[in-house]
Chains A and B, each alone.
Chain A
């Protein structure tokens, strides 16, 4: 056990996974030797494409699946022999899983009732959580009479009312429309900060992960690709998968280097990081500077000339595809905060500048 695990083990709401593995018969491991420490009170996101094992991992923490190997510690306690109904963990299901034969109030009070919390106390806690999640006026309605957003709130309230050590959320917003989703993201985040509970949030939506998380673990094919604070994972992806999953990127292989310049299909690139063999050069489109071809500042490295081949206006920004003289394509974003003269049409000549500090090295 590492030192960080020992510290985490003494704290309520900490989760520690060591070598956790789950293999479904006749398939590659769904979860493959995951080591992970989640801190108390953290908003932690498991991000990955569907089938990457993130939901299976969540279900093992909840107790619905048993790991084939490895250990799970919640608040420092070994969970191997603890069944789901004895874990101080509550889940917000993707489908909400509200009990159709109970009304909103009864749904929320279910967990307390099962724990033997008596009526006056139970009612007080249910009322308090309904106020917090703004569903008090629906108390007597059945789940079938609620809209998607309201059901989502009920599902959340049903988990929070038990004051669990950890709240697990399995793509809870995926069924909602974009506007409601954005509202609930912020609300969920505020609620989590206010209650100070550990939230483990599963999503395949990189934008959602970026908006909400303290830290993100990116998963692919049952393995962790990268764990870190949002900013790190987005700005300094470790490999091509993480770079591409978290957003648009320009990636070029490095075939060699001459002095401090890396050889790439674009030509020689000045890079701030020391070159590693087999690494690729990555730059996010919004970090690329665009100029009229005659207006590019002199005496700066990594300037290339080309023609706009595509311009997609997206409201806040415009996405350009620039074809360089050598035939390479560069994807660039330009925020539309400038006057109209600083926008380009297909066919116009431009210069692109890749500042060395914005170029990251990623592993394949």
Chain B
């Protein structure tokens, strides 16, 4: 016997259709800008390359061999060094921006509320200008004829005629500078909501100074710090402009390596394979990071 649908069932159907209609644009966006390019990338990576670096048949895994460091000349650790260097530079830049962000965030919070948005604006403002311009500015600041390098010459840790840039130090500086706002903003958001009675409880229970900060302030900022780490570490890992301009030959990072395969010495399948590997590592890193951060900072969420 066929029965009429109840009002609840009808409403459920209506809701399902509304949900589909509202998620349509999002799905289209993901298809167009994530799935499709990734599929193209994946395809190209499995082609061979011709003399001009264009992808051609037959399908092969040769590009992935290149990524691992194998070429006609045998195995070379260059790529692995580039990968490790990218990891190291991203790590240091993240650490430096976190260390700078804490005092900055609490300085802003110590100001009167009407002034705080303005101070935050000052921090975000530079990122409205082109990254290339700002990075060139660092090249000037750290170049051989700039005070920072003179100091190095005088103190003897920098050979005369050389500058702090180009080099690994300049890359670290450039990355930390570039991505600092992406650390400050989420950290500020979590520090703004800080429960100060917990800090008072800490003082009441005999904590002071750094220990007080570590036990009562820091745990409360962990959610912001974790977001900041993701916002800084991932783009810093794949950054192209900073290592390209401030790095020089010996400080190449993965972003430049990939770019080279599409510009200077074209090899599309190799470039695509590099990009894929980078994506896979980034995704794996994110997943690992989430697992760790949920153990560290997610006690509250887990409990709910």
Contact = CB atoms under 8 A, between A and B. Distances in A.
26 contacts: A64-B200, A84-B200, A84-B203, A85-B203, A85-B206, A85-B207, A86-B206, A89-B204, A90-B204, A91-B204, A93-B197, A93-B200, A97-B195, A99-B215, A99-B216, A100-B219, A100-B299, A101-B219, A101-B299, A110-B205, A142-B300, A142-B303, A144-B299, A144-B303, A158-B205, A162-B205
Contacts of A110: 202, 205, 207, 215
Interface of B: 195, 197-198, 200-208, 211-212, 215-216, 219, 222, 297, 299-300, 303-304
Given A100-B300, A101-B299, A142-B300, A63 B203 contact: yes
Contacts of A97: 195, 197-198, 200-201
Contacts of A83: 203, 208
Instruction: Give the interface residue-count category, chain A.
Output: 20 to 34
> Do most interface residues of chain B lie in helix, strand or loop, or is the interface mixed?
helix
A142 B200 contact: no
Contacts of B207: 85, 110, 114
A213 B203 CA distance: 27
A115 interface: yes
Nearest to B199: A97
Nearest to B209: A85
Nearest to B205: A111
A100 B227 CA distance: 19
Q: Which of A85, A91, A145 has the most CB of B within 10 A?
A: A85
Contact of A144 (B200, B208, B297, B304): B304
A98 B300 CA distance: 12
Contacts of B304: 144
B206 A114 contact: yes
Interface in A135-179: 142, 144-145, 158, 162
A151 B200 CA distance: 17
A115 B211 CA distance: 12
Nearest to B206: A114
B197 A90 contact: no
Nearest to B200: A64
A99 B201 CA distance: 9
A83 B207 CA distance: 11
Contacts of B222: 101
B219 A99 contact: yes
A115 B200 contact: no
Nearest to A99: B198
A361 interface: no
Given A84-B200, A144-B303, 17 more contacts: A85-B205, A85-B207, A85-B212, A91-B204, A95-B197, A97-B195, A97-B197, A97-B201, A99-B219, A110-B215, A114-B205, A114-B207, A114-B211, A115-B206, A142-B303, A144-B299, A162-B205
Nearest to B218: A101
Interface string A248-271: 000000000000000000000000
A100 B205 CA distance: 15
Interface in A67-93: 83-86, 89-91, 93
B299 A142 contact: yes
A89 B207 CA distance: 13
A6 to B, nearest CB: 29
Interface string A53-64: 000000000111
Interface in A86-143: 86, 89-91, 93, 95, 97-101, 110-111, 114-115, 142
Nearest to A63: B203
B6 to A, nearest CB: 39
A85 B200 contact: no
Contacts of A114: 205-207, 211, 215
A56 to B, nearest CB: 14
A63 B208 CA distance: 13
B255 to A, nearest CB: 37
A145 B299 CA distance: 10
Contacts of B303: 142, 144-145
Contacts of B211: 114
A83 B197 CA distance: 16
